[in-house]
Chains A and B, each alone.
Chain A
Amino acid sequence: MHDMSKKITALSKTTKNREASTIIEVDDIGFSYDLGKTETLKGISMEIPKNQVTALIGPSGCGKSTLLRCLNRMNDLIDTAKITRGAIRILGQDIHAAEVDAIELRKQVGMVFQKYNPFPKSIYDNVAYGLRIQGVKKKSILDEAVERSLRNAALWDEAKDRLKDSALGLSGGQQQRLCIARTIAVRPKVILMDEPCSALDPIATAKVEELMLELRKDFTIVIVTHSMQQASRISDRTAFFYLGELVEYASTSHIFTSPSVKQTEDYISGRFG
């Protein structure tokens, strides 16, 4: 366990200071769950760099999950949800523009949820789900994609002999890694993770964290987390939210060693939240 966290720290340090181009641009976004009566997000602006892990932290109800769900328009599923102002640009495209298809957006911006939620199907069918939805039928392509995704999600060795077994037979941590494999199978550009480790034990958590650092090479990761240690271990940049506002957004080392805002310092040192 200790070795693993050391490994994670080492891994994260190797690439911590690289420069990266912006992939997601959040521009003064305002969001409301009740058609604009009250704003849950009050004008958030931030730039999320490519191939890095960006952590969103803050107390419950601060709007970090809401922002995450704005990034792949999952909030569209809520009838009364409404963007009140601003824009979000991913790869330079305003994602709320009329000509943007949310379905196509979600193929590029995948999501891993708090509670691991594999379908009650076989491991293989779970990973192949996204590709099958896109109309891929050829077995060789699916086989190849399933293997690649499971390898990327560090689940191949554990799952290769039981691909036809139900995904629900896996342990919690394995199920969450399966969900990650399912997400990367469709080759998104960005992976959003909504507290992916909150239902996992420390060992499973360490595995998922290690995985995130590996995935950073190929994907941009935005993660919402309640664990300050997790944010400091794995993220390149950290954003602190409070009451629907972005209080501070800087490199993780800066936030955790010398935060510029008093509120941030209070929160990360555990004085409130």
Chain B
Amino acid sequence: MSASENPFESKRNWTKLCEKLGVGSFGIATYFILFCAALIFGQIAYKGLPTFFKSEAPYVNTEFFTSNPEILRVWHDAEGNKFSMPDKKFDVWRRDNPDAVILDPHALNYSAGGIAGPLIGTALLVLFCMIIALSIGISAAIYLSEYCGKGRIMSMIRLSILNLAGVPSIVFALFGWGIFCHAAPAIVDHVDERSLFAFSIGSNYLSFQGWGTSLLAGSCTLAIMVLPVIITACEESLRAVPKGFREASFALGSSQWQTIRKAVLPYALPGILTATVLGITRVAGETAPIMLTATSTDKTDMPMQALQNEGVWAFFTQSVQALPFHIYTLAKLPDDPLSKPMQNGATFAFLLLVMGFAFVSILLRNRVRKKLKW
């Protein structure tokens, strides 16, 4: 033995150096991402939070959450004092002060009021989209994982579903615009000019004229867009259910559907909920599809009004406002400090909404998971 008595003495060499460098750079990469995320969230929260609150009681800016976007009127008087007021308030004020001096009046679009319309619009779009996507997606996933065999056609179908997940959203948008807005069948009193073809059923017509720019068309388009993600994730979670459960159920004399319903689906639920989370976060943030199929800028009344006044079909075929599109509109406003609160507030609210959706789904999933452990 040499001078050193310790046979395990540490030796400086390249392997060790590489190890240290590697660990270091991986760590840096991780914290860099964390830093970026914190920067983005922090900035949005910092700028957006002031819009949520105000200086006098009740301190929460309820108007921001309960009213629709409005025009902000801006002017100054003879002394040079600046004034700004939402459109409706301005009308009242003007009636009460007909003699007030108004100099250099101008209007800032969407810079007053709130985001209630877009908020509800997005919530409705996500809700109906997920109802459609989950019912079709889970059915397809059950068929793919439980019923159909492994043949060549089936693997081709699987491959195309996977590929569909990579299609850019604008392509889905155009597809939805073409199919749902302009060609889908609807039962109508009188046939529109744009109808592809129509035939009468009783006193009404079944007309292939589409649903127009509407909540229904938007939800369907989003559903088609998110279907590949949902099908793939649901199929994976169905496959992950232990084979033993299926065998045990079959051996007790269950039919295939009984087995799926009682011994497979319940245990795939956590995975299906994860798929739902993925789907929701993707759908809620999409802008291109809803721009083409669901939203219109001149929409001012709340979605519920149509339900009360004109019924269910009108509710589904009305156009809606939506938060991502609203943010896009706000972002293109001319640069003015008075527009900033709305821009920042809407962005922050949107971020909270999507995170909220995901958070609720994760909570739900964890509860189900706790109940179903094997």
B169 at the interface (CB under 8 A from A): no
Kindly state the separation between the CA atoms of A115 and B242 in the bound complex, as whole angstroms. 11
Given A117-B242, A117-B247, decide whether A168 and B254 contact each other with a Cβ distance below 8 A: no
Set of chain A residues within 8 Å of B263, measured between Cβ atoms:
119
Closest to A166 in B: B373
Binds B, one of A36-44, A90-98, A127-135, A248-256: A127-135
A-B Cβ contacts below 8 A, count: 65
B329 at the interface (CB under 8 A from A): no
- On whether the beta carbons of A119 and B245 are closer than 8 Å, the reply is yes
A223 at the interface (CB under 8 A from B): no
Set of chain B residues within 8 Å of A111, measured between Cβ atoms:
247, 251
Set of chain B residues within 8 Å of A186, measured between Cβ atoms:
252-253
Kindly state the separation between the CA atoms of A103 and B257 in the bound complex, as whole angstroms. 12
B255 at the interface (CB under 8 A from A): yes
A64 at the interface (CB under 8 A from B): no
What's the minimum C-beta distance from B260 to chain A, rounded to whole angstroms?
A: 12
Set of chain A residues within 8 Å of B249, measured between Cβ atoms:
119, 129, 133
Set of chain A residues within 8 Å of B374, measured between Cβ atoms:
120, 168
Chain B 230-269 against A: per-residue CB contact (8 Å), 1 yes, 0 no? 0000000000001011111111111100100011000100
Q: Tell me the count of chain B residues lying within 8 A, CB to CB, of chain A.
A: 22
A49 at the interface (CB under 8 A from B): no
What's the minimum C-beta distance from A194 to chain B, rounded to whole angstroms?
A: 10
Interchain CB contact (< 8 A) of B253 among A106, A113, A115: A106
A177 at the interface (CB under 8 A from B): no
Which B252-302 residues have C-beta < 8 A from chain A? 252-255, 258, 262-263, 267
Given A79-B149, A79-B150, A168-B373, decide whether A106 and B245 contact each other with a Cβ distance below 8 A: no
Set of chain B residues within 8 Å of A104, measured between Cβ atoms:
253
- What interface size band does chain A fall in? 20 to 34
Kindly state the separation between the CA atoms of A134 and B254 in the bound complex, as whole angstroms. 8
B372 at the interface (CB under 8 A from A): yes
- On whether the beta carbons of A129 and B252 are closer than 8 Å, the reply is yes
Given A79-B149, A119-B245, A120-B373, decide whether A106 and B267 contact each other with a Cβ distance below 8 A: no
Which A159-186 residues have C-beta < 8 A from chain B? 168, 179, 182-183, 186
Kindly state the separation between the CA atoms of A106 and B259 in the bound complex, as whole angstroms. 13
Set of chain A residues within 8 Å of B262, measured between Cβ atoms:
129, 132-133
Set of chain A residues within 8 Å of B247, measured between Cβ atoms:
74, 77, 111, 113, 117
What's the minimum C-beta distance from B261 to chain A, rounded to whole angstroms?
A: 10
- On whether the beta carbons of B244 and A182 are closer than 8 Å, the reply is no
Closest to B244 in A: A117
Chain A 181-219 against B: per-residue CB contact (8 Å), 1 yes, 0 no? 011001000000000000000000000000000000000
Closest to A102 in B: B250
A110 at the interface (CB under 8 A from B): yes
- On whether the beta carbons of B250 and A74 are closer than 8 Å, the reply is yes
A237 at the interface (CB under 8 A from B): no
A107 at the interface (CB under 8 A from B): yes
Set of chain A residues within 8 Å of B245, measured between Cβ atoms:
117, 119
A72 at the interface (CB under 8 A from B): yes
- On whether the beta carbons of B252 and A110 are closer than 8 Å, the reply is yes
- On whether the beta carbons of A113 and B373 are closer than 8 Å, the reply is no
What's the minimum C-beta distance from A152 to chain B, rounded to whole angstroms?
A: 16
Interchain CB contact (< 8 A) of B258 among A72, A107, A133, A168: A133
Kindly state the separation between the CA atoms of A134 and B252 in the bound complex, as whole angstroms. 9
Set of chain B residues within 8 Å of A129, measured between Cβ atoms:
249, 252, 262
Kindly state the separation between the CA atoms of A132 and B262 in the bound complex, as whole angstroms. 10
Given A104-B253, A118-B248, A120-B267; 10 other pairs, CB 8 A cutoff: A74-B251, A77-B250, A106-B252, A117-B244, A117-B248, A119-B263, A130-B253, A132-B262, A133-B253, A133-B258
27 pairs of residues in contact across A and B, judged by CB atoms under 8 Å: A72-B251, A74-B247, A74-B251, A77-B247, A79-B150, A103-B255, A107-B253, A111-B247, A113-B244, A113-B247, A115-B244, A117-B242, A118-B248, A119-B245, A130-B254, A132-B262, A133-B252, A133-B254, A133-B258, A133-B262, A168-B373, A168-B374, A179-B248, A182-B248, A183-B251, A183-B252, A186-B252
Which 7 pairs between the two chains have the least Cβ-Cβ distance? A117-B244, A107-B253, A111-B251, A130-B252, A120-B374, A106-B253, A133-B254
